[in-house]
Amino acid sequence: MSPREASPPLIRTRVADAADPPVAARMAEVRGVVQGVGFRPFVWRLAARYGLAGWVRNRDGVVEILAEGPEASLEAFGWALVQEAPSLATVEEVRWAPRPTGFLAGFVVEQSLEATEPGSSGLPLVTPAPPTCSARLRELLHPPDRRYRYPFINCTECGPRFTIIEALPYDRVRTSMRAFPMCADCAREYEDPTDRRFHAEPVACPMCGPHLTLRDSPGWGPHPGDPIVEAAEMLRQGAIVAVKGLGGFHLACDATNEAAVARLRHRKTRPDKPFAVMVASPAWAGEFFDPSPDELRALSSWRAPIVLMPDRGLLASSVAPGHKRQGAMLPSTPLHHLLVREADRPLVMTSGNRSDEPICVTDDDAPALWNRRCLPRPRPGDRRSLRRLGGHGAGRHLPRGSKGSKLRPGRTASP
């Protein structure tokens, strides 16, 4: 149920009289998809708007709020909590209970309570990794930005969630990002309630966060040069590159190169099942495909789905032999955005496995399976996997389009 369809929180308002205390206090327990979606910063901003004191914190799978202020402000706050919830959130229930006023000063984001294993509460946890949002994409491609071309850029509205969580509640100390202490600039953004990175748990930058490595045979040692530039050049030359994303390895090749796509089919033992093709933008989609306006809109949805559309005959025939429509998708992570743009052509992007085998998630598996060039994207937070190939793998993962997960995305935002 979307926040706009949800029942409004029950707040009983009574007529004030002179004997009433000047303020009231209430505790709210918010259930739904409310962690990892920027909910606490949102609550903080609402509290500031209505001049309320109190705190907000994650507890297990729910968000708890103590708010104190004039009755009318509390009521407006309660409505806005549901009506204006962040686009990735799904508020399913808000339970209110009166509390004695504590003459609190200010509104703070408190330490979370009760670290537990993900899923132990049976509650919806957090959203899967939302694709790079448009604001972060602008930073990624904007040379003066301090995160220009930084493949681990994220904010409260996009970036990894489930793949980095080791326990709930969702806080940096319980994610693999705790291995990367924030630099002063990132810490300032993380602590600034007006910033889109306020309590964005995986916040990082080139100064303090993880980095990419490109590994290549023989020996799988680090390849010199900029990993994105070098990998893109390999792709243009017809290589198959294994890209470690949030859900394990994907295999990429030039979707316009018939020999490369045919070799990928052979290696995957996948003779004719269509491959999906990644394009950098809707404009690219219009160049290589002939999409309807609806198909273009679907392509740009925040879920970054694979959309079937007729192609213009510019792709290798092995991409989808015998099919009139082919699967197109936009990049879902900053790394994919950078790679497809640098390669300057659409890329086949398929799971890193042989047909009917599980996706390859560890650095150890990839070379053995494919014996081809390998661009490990470490699990953010796992510096060791950068240093020695064969360290920890991606662990828990949620590949694009995975079905049957307990995790639920929030409502669909407008493209």
Residues in contact with Zn ion by CB under 5 A are 133, 136, 155, 157-158, 183, 186, 205, 207-208
Question: Is 245 buried (19+), middle (13-18) or exposed (0-12) by CB count in 10 A?
Answer: buried
Smallest separation, CB 103 to Zn ion (Å): 37
Smallest separation, CB 68 to Zn ion (Å): 32
- How far apart (Å, rounded) are the C-alpha atoms in residues 287 and 285? 5
**Residue closer to Zn ion (CB basis): 203 or 348:** 203
**Residue closer to Zn ion (CB basis): 205 or 240:** 205
Smallest separation, CB 69 to Zn ion (Å): 31
Smallest separation, CB 147 to Zn ion (Å): 9
Smallest separation, CB 338 to Zn ion (Å): 15
The tokens 């970036």 sit on which residue? 159
**Residue closer to Zn ion (CB basis): 104 or 183:** 183
Smallest separation, CB 36 to Zn ion (Å): 12
3-state class (DSSP) for residue 177: helix
- How far apart (Å, rounded) are the C-alpha atoms in residues 127 and 407? 6
Smallest separation, CB 203 to Zn ion (Å): 7
In degrees and rounded to multiples of 5, residue 243 shows phi and psi of -115, 120
- How far apart (Å, rounded) are the C-alpha atoms in residues 165 and 178? 10
Task: State the DSSP H helix or E strand holding residue 56, giving kind and residue range, or none if neither.
Answer: strand 53-59
**Residue closer to Zn ion (CB basis): 155 or 348:** 155
Cis status of the peptide bond prior to 169, with omega within 30 of 0: yes
**Residue closer to Zn ion (CB basis): 6 or 413:** 413
Question: Do residues 386 and 394 touch, judged by C-beta distance below 8 A?
Answer: no
**Residue closer to Zn ion (CB basis): 182 or 279:** 182
b/e for 355-386, b at 16 or more Cβ within 10 A? eeeebbbbbebbbebbebbbbbbbbbbbbebb
Smallest separation, CB 140 to Zn ion (Å): 10
- What DSSP state is assigned to residue 131? P
Q: Rounded to whole angstroms, what are the CA distances from 263 to 69, 215, 269?
A: 66, 20, 10
Smallest separation, CB 135 to Zn ion (Å): 6
**Residue closer to Zn ion (CB basis): 68 or 157:** 157
Q: Nearest CA to 82 among 8, 1, 157?
A: 8
Question: Is 403 buried (19+), middle (13-18) or exposed (0-12) by CB count in 10 A?
Answer: exposed
**Residue closer to Zn ion (CB basis): 157 or 342:** 157
**Residue closer to Zn ion (CB basis): 179 or 207:** 207
**Residue closer to Zn ion (CB basis): 40 or 223:** 40
- How far apart (Å, rounded) are the C-alpha atoms in residues 118 and 77? 30
Smallest separation, CB 181 to Zn ion (Å): 9
Question: Do residues 232 and 254 touch, judged by C-beta distance below 8 A?
Answer: no
- How far apart (Å, rounded) are the C-alpha atoms in residues 112 and 168? 9
